[in-house]
Structure 1
Amino acid sequence: MIAAHQAGISVFVTGGIGGVHRDGENSLDISADLTELGRTPITVVSAGVKSILDIGRTLEFLETQGVCVATYGATNNFPAFFSPQSGFISPFQVRNPEEAAELIASALSLGLQSGVLLAVPIPEKHAAVGQQIEEAIQAAVGEASTKGIRGRDVTPFILQKVNDLTRGKSLQANIALICNNAKVGSQVACALEKQLDDRKLKSKIHHRHRHGNHPSDSESAVVVVGGINIDFIAKGKTEKLFFGQTNSGRVCQSFGGVGRNIADSLSRLGQTPLFISATGDDSHSEAVFNYCKHMNTSGVSRLEGQNTATYCVVIAESGEMILGLGDMDIHEQITEQCVSQFDKQLSSATLVCLDGNIPVSTIDYVCSFASSHKINVWYEPTDSEKACKPFLSDSWKSLSYASPNLAELCTMTKTLGIPTPEVLPSSLDDILSLAVTLSRPLLEHLHCLVVTLGSNGLLLCGEHNAGSVNLQPRLQKKRRRLCALHYPALSVTAEEIINVSGAGDSLAGAIMVGILQQRDTDSCVRMGLLAARLSLLSPHPIALALNSDSVDPDKVHAQNWPKPSFMWID
């Protein structure tokens, strides 16, 4: 199931699944099949559950795990492997491949992470032999009980006894049964593919008629894959907020999502990035598309039956975040299949940006694709929990850039097994020292790290070049001398800050534009700092005032630019 899901296969065929063993309420002998069905969105076609198990409790456990169980065929009797009837009824019934495909497609459209169990009765011509086998099973179960056989010894004893009692007929029935399951499973898989294609086509037509966005076949220098959501920002009017009561404050709505923010920033700064994401087919998505008319959203899927992601953040008067709540389930629908539709655009891109909201499998797919096509990938971790995603495999070695904060950087290195402190330092010197230390092993493969430090500015770590860090993509991997530059943040008072939700995304987007324009490192970073300050002063994550002139260091004399602090990494 896990391998099939990772490979993008929606229907998996087996003989019979495991279940709750007899006396399982005492022994807790429960097959991992059941828990996996509860957390893997895949359809398993089987002949039900062997009667050597406790079928009633197995069905109850599947319900507890949120698994949709349906019998395939003329009745809703739940089969018991060798017998078409177990004495129990399935919650659902589908009569043909088309009904099964509709059920599965509906389950997938909900974005749930649980699977579907499709129970197929043994073919009628084998039912008589199946009845003999069931009688042998009951005799074997009784003998096992009489002899006091328990635990792990029960199943092998019963199977051997049944084989002896039926003189090998159980094996013949088993082969016939698995062939039938494979036939039904393949028919359902074909019907499901057609069902999903029809839904996808309807979604595309619906989307184009209502929005008329940029064509999806246009080439873009940048492709952004990530989340899109509605932000509700609640800012308190007092520094201290009290839980359990109503606090005085101001609430505003804006349009966010890390991927959307970065694509928005790039668009306002003269780029035309292709943005790949997903929304629901609801009023929120209508508002999102209207707001994002200046962006190329032809890669955004609008999915029926889904909710557009929403995020609510509570911030103190100072602008610091107190609490965040997110309904982000739809981000799991930004799958590798969704992205692979745009392989042509990906292959011609100069830079691909991923945010941490998308599934691990999608990140792995893009990193593998980028590695084979020699494309630079920028990873924006989103938060400290999601920062680990590329580092769960070797995918991180295909990244060129990453823009974590210090907590996210710690998650990255901890995932790789690198010693990482549990408590972050407070003094600037100690923060910089830790950031440099943790960056060193990542730079064995990454070209550059942009470590954001909030009010302390940012730390740029990478290849030394003429007293600075080389931000321009390297043509080949080779041994480099590494260094770091610390840039202080532009001064902003607490009273001026309206929100902090898009500052990091604005910074990343502007630095990317500087890189694409082949500017020197100082200019790239200053563009990022100016964009971040505009975001802090705006009610929107990406300031409406953001444009090429507003972040041009030669035109905006925000302050006497201090010379960055230089340090060697090795």
Structure 2
Amino acid sequence: MAECLLRSLSKTVSRTVRSIKVPQSASFANFLSARNPYIKVSEEVSEAISDEKPVVALETTIYTHGFPHPKNTALALHLESVVRLNGGIPATIGVLNGIARVGFSAEELIELTASAGRPETRKVSRRDLPYILGLGHAGRGLNGGTTVAGTMVLARLAGINVLATGGLGGVHRGGEHSMDISADLIELARNRMTVVAGGCKSFLDIPRTLEYLETQGVTVGTFADGREGQVDFPAFWTRDSGSPSPLTIKDEEEAAQIMRAQITLPFYSGLFFASPIPADHSIAKDKMDATITQAVHDAEKSGFTGSDNTPFILKRIHEITDGASVAANGALIASNVARGTKVAVHLAKINKDHSDNIRTRKTPSLAGSNSSWTGSDTTVAYPPSTSRSSLTQISSGPNDPTNVIVAGALAVDLSCDFIPAKDVAESSHPRFHTSNPASIRQSLGGVGQNVATALHYLKSSVRLCTSIGDDIAGSTALQMLAQRGLQISGIQKLATGASTAQYVAINNAQKDLVLAMADMNILEATTQDFEVLWKPHLAGCKPKWLVVDANWDPLTLRKWIDAAKALEAKIAYEPVSTAKSKRAFSHPQSSLAAVPHHSINLATPNALELASMSEAASDAGMFDRDDWWRAIDSIGLSASGSRGKLVSLTNSDLVDQGIPQQSIRLLPFIPCISTTLGEHGVLLTQMLKPGDGRLTSPTSAPYILSRSTNGSDTVGGVYMRLFPPVERLSSHEIINVNGVGDTFLGTLIAGLTKDKPKVIADLVDIAQSASVQTLKSTEAVSPQISTLRHLI
């Protein structure tokens, strides 16, 4: 009878699934988000699952019921950055406003963590999901942190294989009488999921927990961490528990091979990989045992049982250890998340090597809750039984080819636009020494980040190399970049107390910059570490171009230039500001001294920065050198140029300011200078080599300032062209000015690194158009510049 019923049910399910029309390319995560109003899978996580990239699930009760606000916010953002820095995609899982989320944006994660400690913020296990999601659908949008069990349920629905967390629940002391057994163990028994955690909390009954997991068929192993022979199953705050681990695992690659076997075979129980706390954060076992005995006694005395028991005991342990348990907790969680990510990445590599395996079964099956059903028109994998993961661009390592490396600042930007009073006749500029009304916006900026983002929007292969602090701003920035799809393997998080860079711009009523304050000191904190932190990225990527900004100190700037030049990469220099623009010339052994083998191929200053660069070169004695004079003689002009010719190519105002002359003076060191001039447009000044087609082209003839007449084998002439603005905007159309120059440079480099690169003169107007898009945007670089891809 039961067998007949099972066959009948199997046929019914098969017919039902065949009636669902889902595109072959759609992941189950996409299908889940589209069809289920109770669960939302973020776009980033959905795409990662669809592309079979290494995704790591993160629970949220540690934020809502573990750490106080705002420490929980910092931890949440930090753990996501740990996943990204180790090559994975984080999928933080929780309930926000009555909807289960698989993957949070930074803003959503901050909103959830801010609700910690409120009575209405719930601790959500499997049993609680129908309640809190049902109320959300009825209009009561509650927040909740998912436990390991609740996270496992949602992760498996989305098709995620790995969950990393602090500790696993277990059998409570006296559980043989109270039947107080964590739902985490039940979920491990019924879900084909891998959990990486620091064992069980020490106040649980660890021997009975291990016995229960064995009875339920859950594979349990402990990472050896270099130890030989039998190792103990860890007890969260301590590396040893007194209970031998059922199995020992050598490393993350071995763990991934175990996962591969478990996924491929028709097993439907989970895996538990115990990761001991780092030795330097481990609390002595005898001290922890005494603390736990006291905390458990206090819980019993106070009547805390069930789901309230663990939070109370954790709070008492924190109090008894004077906070040492919380510090150890944070270190353990970060270590576990890093290890869980490495397991997921290794699994992705293994699955890629086995990409010929069939992803879904062809026979309808009800063998377990993780079955795959195939219909005649489509296949729905629930969830995929195997994968053929390929590493995401975000997880690219130092040895992955990349067309452009951008070395420069990433910062949190504040843009302050002065708002004059409507009923008072006053200046459009803010007043000094007093408070001014303003509209203030915060965004992600920094010259390097802006240029890299522009290149990314234009589909260039780019890696940003920069430093961030171990702070909320840094973690948020890292998450935002990764959500855009940018490579982040070149971003170094410094744990030395350095703060993530910040930039504050004060603009007048017309949105023109009046004053800016920039704290970019973090880039100068890595001067001595260039060989370790940055050089491997250049050597491994072998980029066509290095874009370097002047936020680096002069010595590090020189190291970047020398290392890139040794690899025959071309170099673009973004001067950043009048003060910092001098840094390329300020070192006594500046690489720019090499003539005619120019160290910098392209610079994009504004008029003030150009003047500052010219002054710095003069102060360094670079205009007194014999090789500079030989180059100037080959150009066929005096150092100041021919005024009449310069006016005809530009205009009298620019010549009176000395802008064309300053460009010419710098050409022997920087053979292509594109100076942005605001309302005057862009002045392109370029030294041409002998044989350059533009020297004899009729269309280029109006822009040839001079031709070499002395037979130089390195200098053929000078091309100078003033490009008028592509569009003039009224003041009310201008929203943002901070990333305009960076957008311009990023667009130029995008065109210069194509398989069939354009000459730079053909890119200037396109770059100006991109800059206009940014002027109209609230973002430091407008995403709308992507519409210009086809032009470059």
Q: Same fold (TM over 0.5)?
A: yes
Amino acid at match of 1:394: S
Aligned-pair CA distance for 1:235: 0.9
Q: 1:314 aligns with which of 506, 515, 526?
A: 506
1:281 aligns with 2:281: no
Judge which range, 459-468 or 228-237, deviates more.
459-468
8 Å CA contact 2:401–2:540 kept in 1: the answer is yes
Q: 1:344 aligns with which of 521, 527, 539?
A: 539
| Partners of 1:274 and 1:224 in 2: CA distance | 6
Aligned-pair CA distance for 1:487: 0.6
8 Å CA contact 2:687–2:715 kept in 1: the answer is no
Q: Which residue in 1 is equivalent to 2:515?
A: 323
Amino acid at match of 1:356: A
Aligned-pair CA distance for 1:514: 1.4
1:530 aligns with 2:749: no
Unaligned runs of 5+ in 1: 1-101, 103-200, 422-426, 471-475, 555-570
1:227 aligns with 2:409: yes
Aligned-pair CA distance for 1:362: 1.4
Q: Which residue in 1 is equivalent to 2:669?
A: 445
What SS class does the counterpart of residue 445 from structure 1 fall into? coil
Q: Which residue in 1 is equivalent to 2:448?
A: 259
| Partners of 2:740 and 2:791 in 1: CA distance | 18
Q: Which residue in 2 is equivalent to 1:550?
A: 788
Q: Which residue in 1 is equivalent to 2:654?
A: 431
| Partners of 2:610 and 2:773 in 1: CA distance | 25
Aligned-pair CA distance for 1:380: 0.3
What SS class does the counterpart of residue 374 from structure 1 fall into? coil
After TM superposition, the structure 1 = structure 2 runs for residues 36-55 of structure 1, keeping only pairs within 5 Å, are none
| Partners of 2:732 and 2:652 in 1: CA distance | 27
Q: Which residue in 2 is equivalent to 1:504?
A: 741
Q: Which residue in 2 is equivalent to 1:394?
A: 590
Q: Which residue in 2 is equivalent to 1:373?
A: 567
| Partners of 1:203 and 1:280 in 2: CA distance | 21
Aligned-pair CA distance for 1:204: 12
Aligned-pair CA distance for 1:344: 1.7
Q: Which residue in 1 is equivalent to 2:210?
A: none
What SS class does the counterpart of residue 558 from structure 2 fall into? helix
Q: Which residue in 2 is equivalent to 1:454?
A: 678
| Partners of 2:729 and 2:401 in 1: CA distance | 38
8 Å CA contact 2:466–2:492 kept in 1: the answer is yes
Amino acid at match of 2:747: A
What SS class does the counterpart of residue 465 from structure 2 fall into? strand
TM-score (norm 2): 0.41
| Partners of 1:390 and 1:520 in 2: CA distance | 25
8 Å CA contact 1:207–1:302 kept in 2: the answer is no
8 Å CA contact 1:269–1:510 kept in 2: the answer is yes
Q: Which residue in 1 is equivalent to 2:488?
A: 297
Query: Greater CA radius of gyration, 1 or 2?
Result: 2
Q: Which residue in 1 is equivalent to 2:610?
A: 409
Deviations 1:42-86 (A, max 9, x none): xxxxxxxxxxxxxxxxxxxxxxxxxxxxxxxxxxxxxxxxxxxxx
C-alpha spacing 1:291/1:242, structure 2 compared with 1 (3 Å): same
Deviations 1:252-295 (A, max 9, x none): 11111001100010011001211110000111011101211121
Aligned-pair CA distance for 1:405: 1.1
8 Å CA contact 1:204–1:301 kept in 2: the answer is no
1:483 aligns with 2:719: yes
Q: Which residue in 2 is equivalent to 1:362?
A: 556
C-alpha spacing 1:205/1:455, structure 2 compared with 1 (3 Å): farther
What SS class does the counterpart of residue 416 from structure 2 fall into? strand
Unaligned runs of 5+ in 2: 1-279, 281-333, 346-391, 421-427, 624-638, 641-649, 689-693, 705-711
TM-score (norm 1): 0.56
Judge which range, 388-397 or 201-210, deviates more.
201-210
C-alpha spacing 1:323/1:446, structure 2 compared with 1 (3 Å): closer
Aligned-pair CA distance for 1:504: 0.3
Deviations 1:104-138 (A, max 9, x none): xxxxxxxxxxxxxxxxxxxxxxxxxxxxxxxxxxx
Aligned-pair CA distance for 1:387: 0.7
Deviations 1:320-341 (A, max 9, x none): 1122122221121343232123
8 Å CA contact 1:334–1:359 kept in 2: the answer is no
Aligned-pair CA distance for 1:528: 0.5
Amino acid at match of 1:415: A
| Partners of 2:337 and 2:606 in 1: CA distance | 37
Deviations 1:489-538 (A, max 9, x none): 22111111112100000000001111122124443112210111011111
Q: 2:396 aligns with which of 188, 191, 215?
A: 215
| Partners of 1:379 and 1:214 in 2: CA distance | 27
8 Å CA contact 2:604–2:673 kept in 1: the answer is yes
Amino acid at match of 2:445: G
8 Å CA contact 1:203–1:301 kept in 2: the answer is no
Amino acid at match of 2:559: Y
| Partners of 1:307 and 1:402 in 2: CA distance | 29
8 Å CA contact 1:451–1:459 kept in 2: the answer is yes
| Partners of 1:281 and 1:415 in 2: CA distance | 35
8 Å CA contact 2:405–2:538 kept in 1: the answer is no
Aligned-pair CA distance for 1:208: 7.1
Aligned-pair CA distance for 1:477: 7.5
| Partners of 1:272 and 1:514 in 2: CA distance | 12
How many residues get paired? 343
| Partners of 1:519 and 1:300 in 2: CA distance | 30
8 Å CA contact 1:528–1:551 kept in 2: the answer is no
| Partners of 2:467 and 2:565 in 1: CA distance | 25
| Partners of 1:399 and 1:296 in 2: CA distance | 25
Q: Which residue in 2 is equivalent to 1:174?
A: none
Amino acid at match of 1:550: L
| Partners of 2:565 and 2:611 in 1: CA distance | 25
Aligned-pair CA distance for 1:439: 1.5
8 Å CA contact 1:531–1:546 kept in 2: the answer is yes
8 Å CA contact 1:428–1:456 kept in 2: the answer is no
Deviations 1:449-475 (A, max 9, x none): 1111122111001135231789xxxxx
| Partners of 1:204 and 1:432 in 2: CA distance | 60
8 Å CA contact 2:459–2:789 kept in 1: the answer is no
8 Å CA contact 1:227–1:278 kept in 2: the answer is yes
What SS class does the counterpart of residue 416 from structure 1 fall into? helix
| Partners of 1:229 and 1:400 in 2: CA distance | 26
| Partners of 2:667 and 2:431 in 1: CA distance | 43
C-alpha spacing 1:244/1:391, structure 2 compared with 1 (3 Å): closer
Identity between Structure 1 and Structure 2 (%)? 22
Amino acid at match of 1:374: E
C-alpha spacing 1:403/1:499, structure 2 compared with 1 (3 Å): same
8 Å CA contact 2:539–2:567 kept in 1: the answer is no
Amino acid at match of 1:221: N
